[in-house]
Structure 1
Amino acid sequence: MPTSLLSTLTATPLFAVGLTLAAYLLGNALFSRLRQPAWLPAILIAALLLAAMLTVLGLPYEAYQEGAVWLTILLGPATVALGMPLYQQLPRIRALWRPLAVCLPIAAALAACYALGIAWLMGSPGQILASIAAKSVTAPIAIGITEQLGGNVALLMGALLVTGVATIPFVSLAARLLNIDDERIIGFALGLNGHAIGTVRAFELSPTAGAFASLGMSLTGIFTALLLPLAWRLVGMGSG
């Protein structure tokens, strides 16, 4: 595409928003055509299509990001809107508050620690560690945490996508191996580990699974936002 035309198109955020929506709609259509495979969610297809579009157009990611920031702003209200299914399932959530309270800090801490441990063993620099530390947290919260830690937001977004996509088949496999069919447990695991992508999958299973996924995603975000920056400073990573 000629540089002058590309500059004209990217002068407003509408071009980036339109590209994103087109990739999303095509991704959903292909996902349905492929009979909705759990290992290839629509958001992954859409991300690959968008990357291909940017490559073909020769549009730098930075230029695309400037326009698409308007969509990022909507992530906050979308996350808050998940409070409705939480409210609808409140009696079931109250019945399980004790095991959930015990499970959450352990699982949320492990979600950050195993990724950091693997990256550290492979010799990754501090910025990469800071970029993947919040990879199991929903994007609006994870972006703020990553900026606090001094990480790269673009790298974080890639880590969020990989984590969310990988969570779905792994949770499904673990549920089968452990003979778990309780939608509340499966939903909570999907939301806790797979943030928004896992939550979308949980709502496809049932409203109950979706509500517990919303709970897991929300509580993981709060827990991580409160404790991860503190733990980061305590272990001396902030100075690296």
Structure 2
Amino acid sequence: MNYQNQLALVWTYLGRTPLLWLTATVVCYVVAQAVYEKLNKRPLANPVLLSVLAVILLLRVTHTEYAAYMQGGQFIHFLLGPAIVALAVPLNRQLPKLRSMFWPLACGLVAGGLGAITTTVLLARALGASAQSIASIAPRSATAGIAIRISEKIGGIPSLTAVLVVMTGITGAVIAVPVLRLLRVRRPEIVGLAMGLAGHGIATARALQISEEAGAFAGLGMSLNGVLTACALPVLYPMLMP
């Protein structure tokens, strides 16, 4: 057996082990985070964006199926739940401010959440998207678990919805801070809430890098927008579609 065949057999064996892809995912993110820090935290060097691109490239080069990758990736996927629950810690520290800003936050949540649904559906219709595509796009501003369930309920494609949710989150994490700075929005609670509403978990992680206060309000926006979208979209969607 020649060297190339031996190498192929070794890779085939390693490619089936969950630890390989778990390690690869962590290494990609650690390297992406280092690049992000090295480039002075430039928005386009967002570590989630870079690590996603790196993992995709790695899977393409090695001809690895997604199912094989997820044998290791599922361990990180499981940690999403505890990570979201952990947002309660900074949120609890901001309770006095939350109480004092209840009505502005509530109005912002309703305007942002319902506005995202309405503009997404109407813009997709104007561009000539199919009903199934629109149903897949509509819940993109909710966090992945909620968005996928809504997509199934209104006739969308869950796998397409999952991709769009990730793209929305990365876009929010990359452009939110520059756009808000351009609009002269500086208050961390407003910045955080806007990022949580627009970019859910990925943008919330970016908000935590700004400050604990921004991260707390981003977590609040992400959570409440998920609930609002789950309740409102099934009702609004038939009204917005012909």
**TM-score with structure 2 setting the length:** 0.86
- Please list every run of 5 or more consecutive structure 2 residues that lacks an aligned counterpart in the other structure: none
* Residue 88 of structure 1, CA deviation: 0.9
Between the aligned partners of 1:154 and 1:16, the Cα distance in structure 2 is: 21
Between the aligned partners of 1:123 and 1:62, the Cα distance in structure 2 is: 33
User: Which range moved further: 93-102 or 56-65?
Assistant: 56-65
Aligned to 2:40: 35
Q: Secondary structure at the match of 1:135?
A: coil
- 2:49 counterpart of 1:44: yes
- 2:25 counterpart of 1:20: yes
| Aligned counterparts, 1:145-184, within 5 A | 145-184=150-189
C-alpha contact (below 8 Å) 1:39/1:166 kept by paired residues: no
- 2:186 counterpart of 1:190: no
* Residue 7 of structure 1, CA deviation: 4.8
C-alpha contact (below 8 Å) 2:17/2:71 kept by paired residues: no
C-alpha contact (below 8 Å) 1:199/1:210 kept by paired residues: yes
User: Which range moved further: 57-66 or 178-187?
Assistant: 57-66
C-alpha RMSD over aligned residues: 2.5
Question: Which residue, out of 211, 216, 230, partners 2:216?
Answer: 211
Aligned residue identity for 2:132: Q
Deviations 1:63-95 (A, max 9, x none): 324542333232122112111111110000111
| Aligned counterparts, 1:1-240, within 5 A | 5=10, 7-65=12-70, 67-232=72-237, 234-235=238-239
C-alpha contact (below 8 Å) 1:10/1:67 kept by paired residues: no
C-alpha contact (below 8 Å) 1:136/1:192 kept by paired residues: yes
Aligned residue identity for 1:16: W
Aligned residues: 237
Q: Secondary structure at the match of 1:229?
A: helix
Between the aligned partners of 1:21 and 1:222, the Cα distance in structure 2 is: 30
* Residue 49 of structure 1, CA deviation: 0.4
Between the aligned partners of 1:229 and 1:8, the Cα distance in structure 2 is: 46
- The higher radius of gyration belongs to 2
* Residue 9 of structure 1, CA deviation: 3.3
C-alpha contact (below 8 Å) 1:115/1:132 kept by paired residues: yes
User: Which range moved further: 80-89 or 221-230?
Assistant: 221-230
Between the aligned partners of 1:34 and 1:149, the Cα distance in structure 2 is: 42
Change (3 A) 1:34 1:174: closer
Between the aligned partners of 2:10 and 2:149, the Cα distance in structure 1 is: 35
| Consecutive aligned runs of 4 or more in structure 1 exceeding 6 Å deviation | none
Aligned residue identity for 2:211: S
User: Which range moved further: 221-230 or 174-183?
Assistant: 174-183
Between the aligned partners of 1:137 and 1:96, the Cα distance in structure 2 is: 23
**TM-score with structure 1 setting the length:** 0.86
* Residue 101 of structure 1, CA deviation: 1.1
C-alpha contact (below 8 Å) 1:199/1:217 kept by paired residues: yes
C-alpha contact (below 8 Å) 1:44/1:161 kept by paired residues: no
Aligned residue identity for 2:221: G
Change (3 A) 1:81 1:146: farther
